[in-house]
Structure 1
C-alpha cells in the first residue's frame, strides 16, 4: 500500500490513469443512480401520500412491494427483462462489444450510458491531474461524481434530490475543517450566501410573477458549492453558470425552434459551474476581485 501511495505521489500520470479506470467504474454506478433515484423518490412520495389519505381508524398495513433501490433489483434490459451479466456490465467496453444492443433481444441501448461512464472517467482523471495525490483530490473527485449525477437527474426530471445536495453541504464544510479548499469561516459564509442569493432572486420573481422561477434544490446546490469553495467563489460560479447557460440555452432554443427541444432546468448550469470553479475558480476570483 505504501508503495502504491509513493507511485501515485511521484507519477501524476499513473495516478490520473488509475482515476480514469475508477471513474469509468463509478460512472456505471452513476447511471443506476441517475435512473433509479428519481423513481425511488416518487415511490416514497406516493406512499406517504397514500398513508396520509387513509382514515385514522384504518390500521390494515399496506401490501408489501418488491424492493427497489440502488442495488436491487439487478439491472436488466427494459425491453425484454434480460438480466445484465458481469461481462456485459464492464464500463464502456461492453457497450462497444455489444454494438449498442441487448445481447438477448437486440434492442438498442442508449448511447448515454457509455457517455456518462466516459465523462465520469475523463473528469475524474482531470481532477487527479490538476490536484495531484492527496485529500484535496479526493474531495474534488467526490464532488465531481455528485455534480455529474445532479446534472443528468435535473436535466431529466427537473429534480435536485436532497439526498445528494444536503450531504454535499456537510461534506464541503468537513473538507474545509483543515482548509483544503478555503478556510472554514469562508465555507460557512459561502453556504449561507449561496442559499440566500438564489432564494432572494426567486422571492422577488415570485412577488412579480406570482410563481417560483426556480426550484429549492437550486438554492441548496449553490449553498453546497459555497460550502466547498467559500463565499468569494459565488461570483465565479454565477459567471461560469451564465456562460454554460448561454451555450446550453442557445442549443435549447435552437432545438425548440426545430421542434424537438424542451425547457432546460437551472441545476445543470450550476453543476457545470461548480466543476469549473473546482479547477479554475481561484483564477476567476482573482480576476473579479482584482477589478474591484
Structure 2
C-alpha cells in the first residue's frame, strides 16, 4: 500500500469525494427522471395501452454528460469536479446558459464529507463503509430536495447494507440493527398516521420512514431520538431562514428527507462527542 501521512489520506479522500460528487449529481438529476419514465411505461402496460413515443431520459452510467439546455456534450475539462464550474464562470461554454449551483455544491459537500470520514475513522474498512453511507445520503438528500421523493432504489440498499454490516459486526450488533430499523420505520409511520387522522393531510412521505429505518440499522435505536431532534432543529433553522428571506412560502411543502440525512450523518460522525457535550452541559457527567 502506498505510504502516505494521515493528512495525505484525508486529502486523497477529499479528492475522491469530489469525483464521486460529480457522479452523485448525475444520480440526483437522472434517477428520478428514469424512474418516472419507467412508471409511465408500466402504467401503459398495465392498462394494455400503446406506450407513448417519448424517448427515455438519459441513463445514469452510459450516456455522457451534456448541457441540459443546448444538449452539447461536455469535454473533460468542463467535467472537472468543482473547478470546471468555476473556470466556466457558472455558464455553459457553448450556449452561455447558467449552470445550476447544485453541481459545485454537491461536489464540494461530497469532498468535504469524505475527508471528514477518513479523518474520523482512519484508513480501514469502517471508513470505506462510512464513505458509502455518506455518498448515499447525499444522493438521497439531493433527490428529495429536488423532487420531494426518496427512491426505494437507494433507501433499500442503504437499509440492507446497514443490516448486513451488523453481521460482522461493524457499527452495531445484528439484534440492535434490526430493532433500530423497526423502530425507525414505525416511529415516523405512527407520526404520519396520527397527523393524517388529526388534520386529514399527509405530513411526510413513506420514504422518510424508510430512510430513518436505514439510519436505525446503521446506528441502532439509541441514535433515533437524537437524529429526529437534530433533523427537526435543522429543518426549523433552514425553513425559518428561507421563509424570512422570502425564498419559500409558508404553504409550500418542504422535504424532510434532507434534514434526516444531514442529522443522521452528523450523529454518525460526532454522536458520541455531542452526547458527551450535552451531558457535561446538563451536569450529568
* Same topology, TM > 0.5: yes
Distance across 1 between alignment mates of 2:72 and 2:23: 18
Q: Residue 31 in 1 paired to residue 21 in 2? A: no
SS of residue in 1 equivalent to 2:141: helix
Q: Secondary structure at the match of 1:88?
A: coil
Secondary structure of 1:133's match? coil
* Conservation of the 8 A alpha-carbon contact between 1:237 and 1:277: yes
CA distance in 2, matches of 1:280, 1:64: 47
- Tell which deviates more after alignment, 88-97 or 71-80: 71-80
Question: What SS does structure 2 have at the residue aligned with 1:101?
Answer: coil
Cα gap change, 1:61 to 1:119, in 2 (>3 Å) = closer
1:62, distance to aligned residue in structure 2 (A): 7.3
In the alignment, which residue of structure 2 is the partner of 1:108? 98
The CA RMSD measured in Å over matched residues stands at 2.4
Structure 2: stretches of 5+ with no match in the other structure: none
Q: Say yes or no: does 1:40 pair with 2:30.
A: no
Deviation, 1:170, is 0.6
Shift in Å, 1:218? 0.3
Superimposed CA distance per residue, residues 102-136 of structure 1 (whole angstroms, 9 cap, x where no aligned partner): 11122221222111111110111011101111111
* Count of aligned pairs: 281
Offset of 1:243 from its aligned partner?
1.8
Measured after TM superposition, the shift of residue 12 of structure 1 is: 2.1
Distance 1:219-1:109 versus aligned 2 partners, 3 A rule = same
Shift of 1:257: 7.3
Partner Cα distance (2:98, 2:57) in 1 = 27
TM-score, normalisation: structure 1:
0.89
The question of whether the paired residues in 2 share the 8 Å contact of 1:198 and 1:218 is answered with: yes
Given that 2:41 and 2:51 are in contact with CA atoms closer than 8 Å, whether structure 1 keeps it comes out as: no
1:224 aligns with 2:250: no
For the residues of structure 2 that align with 1:81 and 1:258, how far apart are their CA atoms? 30
Distance in 2 (alpha carbons) for counterparts of 1:23 and 1:169: 22
**What's the counterpart of residue 209 of structure 1?**
199
2:57 and 2:68 map into 1 onto residues whose CA distance is 17
Q: How far has the Cα of 1:212 moved from its partner?
A: 2.3
* Structure 2 residue 144 is matched with structure 1 residue 154: yes
The residue number in structure 2 matching 1:272 is 262
2:78 is paired with a residue whose SS is helix
Deviation at 1:66, TM superposition (A): 5.0
Q: Does residue 89 of structure 2 align to residue 95 of structure 1? A: no
Partner of 2:161: 171
Structure 2 counterpart SS, 1:244: helix
Could you tell me how far apart the structure 2 residues matched to 1:273 and 1:125 are? 18
Contact 1:15 1:128 in 2 (8 A): yes
Q: What SS does structure 2 have at the residue aligned with 1:87?
A: coil
Residues 45-65 of structure 1: CA deviation (Å, up to 9, x unaligned): 11111112226xxxx787694
